[in-house]
Homo-oligomer: A and B are copies of this chain.
Amino acid sequence: MKRIAIDMDEVIANTAISLLKLFNQQYGQDVTEEELEGKSLIQARPHFRNEIKSFYTSETFFRGLDVISDSQTVILELQERYEIFIATAAMEVPASFKAKYEWLKEHFPSIPDSHIVFCGDKSIIHADYLIDDNVNQLHSFRGKGILYSTPHNRFATGFTRVDSWLDVRKLFLNKAVEVI
């Protein structure tokens, strides 16, 4: 059975949009999703750098993130044909450990503890595929990288790209297994 590792932030958890909404509310800003094409919120509002970073050190921020559309149903379908691991670069934000774990337990109860990985550099991940929005992580990864589209990676090239979980379903399930 082939193995797919799946990132959390921006792939199954809607981190950037949640951050954008909270930031706009809390600091009276009006940053739009369109403004974040090809850049991060910090790049869009560099003078709010510390304020934006403070969201990431809040334990509650990661606990309350929305789930990306269709990720729950498609992951359940994938689990019938693939071994699924969740692999998140949680070491960048130690305050997020507990919240990320609890969030996964709530929203993806079919993923056992044995298949959850908090890491840094994803070159350590032993899997056939990695679905991730971070181009650097996909470059580090030793298997085949699948780029999950987000505003910040809109202009990146060099990887098979999926724009939604329906795209993921099509890529991994609409054809015979092991086609990519």
Question: Interface of A with B (CB < 8 Å)?
Answer: 5, 85, 87, 90-92, 94, 97-98, 101, 112-121, 123-127, 142
B118, B124, B126: the one within 8 Å of A123 (CB): B126
Copies in the complex: 2
A87 CA to B124 CA, complexed, in Å: 10
List 5 A-B pairs, minimum CB-CB distance, nearest first: A114-B120, A97-B97, A126-B126, A91-B113, A118-B118
A116 CA to B126 CA, complexed, in Å: 15
A178 CA to B21 CA, complexed, in Å: 52
With a cutoff of 8 Å between Cβ atoms, the chain B residues found around residue A87 in the complex are: 124
With a cutoff of 8 Å between Cβ atoms, the chain B residues found around residue A118 in the complex are: 90, 97, 117-119
Q: Evaluate whether A92 and B120 lie within 8 angstroms (CB atoms) in the complex, with A97-B98, A126-B142, A142-B126 already known.
A: no
A117 CA to B116 CA, complexed, in Å: 10
A94 CA to B97 CA, complexed, in Å: 9
A85 closest partner in B (C-beta): B124
A5 closest partner in B (C-beta): B124
The distance from the CB of A104 to the nearest CB of chain B, in whole angstroms, is 10
B92, B117, B120, B123: the one within 8 Å of A119 (CB): B117
A89 closest partner in B (C-beta): B114
12 contacts between A and B (CB under 8 A): A85-B124, A91-B101, A91-B114, A91-B116, A94-B98, A97-B98, A113-B120, A114-B121, A117-B117, A117-B124, A119-B119, A124-B126
A127 closest partner in B (C-beta): B124
- Among A116, A119, A125, residue most surrounded by chain B Cβ atoms (within 10 Å): A119
With a cutoff of 8 Å between Cβ atoms, the chain B residues found around residue A115 in the complex are: 120-121, 124
A179 CA to B142 CA, complexed, in Å: 24
